[in-house]
């Protein structure tokens, strides 16, 4: 169960580093910081569920939140990953509609919760915040279109290769562990495939020395081969 507590005194400097809030007026930033609450979500726990009533906006301070879409037949699909500095949960708050997806902690994560009235008040008073939200919505719509195209036009292997290459690039730009941390279940969620299908492709690629798999870890050995699979494996 996630519990909220007053945010630390240094939350104001952190908000200034968040792209959505950076450069806002001192009054707005002070108000947002004063109304932040820190919430720790343990790995594998949900912050909120699809169809929940939206009462807050969230900012990731540390960790990793997966945004999941649940189908009527029990399947899950990862729509996005929220990392430190990312803001999420604003769409349902602004529209007044139920949450369109769930938020699951991929690892133990701290988020800052900003109450709906505080965020909406800041939105009314700060045109720069409104413009940035429009840009954020446009970027997410573009990514959503790319994801839908992948699901519609890419074969299973190309979907898996795309996710692995994307995660590998993210790792190389940050901690650079040399491997991707992801389970077969998570790969299935991200690609809209079954776990059995994911396991079959990983097994084939392991035998071809494209990659090495371990417990929740995948090391890419032949990135170019996977890139060619992604580029050429089109319906």
CATH number for the domain spanning 179: value is: 1.10.10.10
Angle at 161 between CA 235 and CA 107, to 5 degrees: 135
CA dist list (Å): 59 to 81, 115, 160, 169, 205: 12, 11, 29, 23, 37
**What pTM was estimated for this model as a whole?**
0.70
pLDDT of residue 7: 62
How would you classify residue 178: left for phi > 0, otherwise alpha for psi between -120 and 50, otherwise beta? left
pLDDT of residue 235: 43
Q: How many domains does the chain have?
A: 2
pLDDT of residue 152: 62
Q: Half-sphere exposure of residue 231, counting CA atoms within 13 Å on the CB side?
A: 6
The answer to whether residues 136 and 227 belong to one domain is no
The answer to whether residues 203 and 95 belong to one domain is no
The answer to whether residues 90 and 14 belong to one domain is yes
Domain ranges, residue 221: 154-232
Residue 148 lies in a domain: no
Residue 96 lies in a domain: yes
The answer to whether residues 99 and 177 belong to one domain is no
Positive or negative, the CA dihedral 92, 71, 49, 152 is negative
The answer to whether residues 97 and 78 belong to one domain is yes
The answer to whether residues 10 and 106 belong to one domain is yes
The answer to whether residues 23 and 139 belong to one domain is yes
Q: What is the residue-level pLDDT of the chain in tens, covering all 235 positions?
A: 456 665 656 899 999 999 999 999 999 999 999 999 999 999 989 999 999 999 999 999 999 898 988 767 666 777 888 999 999 999 999 999 999 999 999 889 999 999 999 999 999 999 999 999 999 988 887 776 666 666 666 788 988 998 898 888 877 766 667 888 888 988 888 888 888 999 999 999 999 999 999 888 999 999 999 988 887 765 4
Angle at 86 between CA 85 and CA 91, to 5 degrees: 145
Domain boundary residue, one of 118, 143, 168: 143
């Amino acid at each position: 169960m996630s519990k909220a507590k007053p945010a630390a005194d240094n939350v104001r400097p952190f908000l200034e580093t968040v792209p959505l809030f950076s450069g806002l007026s001192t009054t707005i930033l002070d108000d947002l910081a004063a109304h932040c609450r820190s919430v720790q979500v343990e790995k594998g726990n949900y912050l909120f569920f699809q169809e929940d009533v939206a009462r807050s906006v969230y900012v990731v301070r540390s960790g990793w939140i997966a945004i999941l879409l649940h189908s009527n037949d029990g399947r899950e699909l990862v729509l996005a990953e929220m990392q430190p500095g990312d803001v999420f949960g604003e769409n349902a708050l602004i529209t007044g509609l139920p949450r369109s997806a769930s938020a699951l902690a991929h690892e133990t994560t701290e988020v800052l919760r900003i109450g709906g009235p505080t965020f909406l008040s800041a939105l009314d008073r700060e045109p720069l915040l409104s413009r940035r939200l429009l840009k954020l919505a446009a970027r997410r719509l573009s990514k959503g279109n790319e994801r839908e195209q992948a699901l519609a036009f890419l074969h299973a292997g190309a979907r898996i290769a795309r996710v692995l290459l994307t995660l590998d690039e993210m790792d190389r730009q940050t901690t650079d562990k040399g491997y991707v941390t992801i389970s077969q279940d998570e790969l299935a969620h991200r690609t809209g495939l079954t776990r059995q299908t994911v396991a079959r492709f990983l097994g084939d690629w392991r035998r071809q020395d494209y990659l090495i798999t371990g417990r929740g870890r995948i090391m890419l050995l032949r990135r170019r081969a996977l890139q060619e699979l992604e580029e050429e494996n089109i319906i």
